[in-house]
Amino acid sequence: MADYKEILGSLVNKAKDAGRALVLNCADADVAKAALDVCKELKPILNGANKDNADAMNAVATAAGVVLGVGGADISEIYDTVKALEGKGNKNLIIDCTGKTAKETFANA
């Protein structure tokens, strides 16, 4: 795992050095925490919360003080996850309405 964290840190540092806003697409809370350890001062968006990992991802995003992106299988699932996170006091959220197809994404948006 140490090799993986080194590789991840290196990749995040390369992205950080580009001077652009960062969006970390990650659904694993442990990996997200490792990535944020490298770049949280830049306040990236942590995108990857869903119904299965919402609590863990919320804890990581809240601890780092970053915006949390929330997605799901459909609009209803996303709504329920956002509602649950807002119920826990996190209103620092964005909605990832990306669907399985361009048509579905357009409809969701």
Give the list of residues 6+ apart from residue 108 with CB closer than 8 angstroms, or none: 74, 75, 97, 98, 99
Query: Both tokens of residue 30?
Result: 């442990």
Tokens (6 digits) for 31 = 């990996």
The answer, yes or no, to whether residue 4 has pLDDT greater than 60, is yes
The sheet carrying 93-95 orders its strands as 23-25, 45-49, 67-70, 93-95
| Single pTM value for the model | 0.85
Q: What is the tens place of the pLDDT at every residue in 43-89?
A: 999 999 999 999 999 999 999 999 999 999 889 999 999 999 999 99
14-39 pLDDT, tens digit each? 887 887 788 999 999 999 998 999 88
Closest among 70, 55, 71, 60 to 104, alpha carbons compared: 71
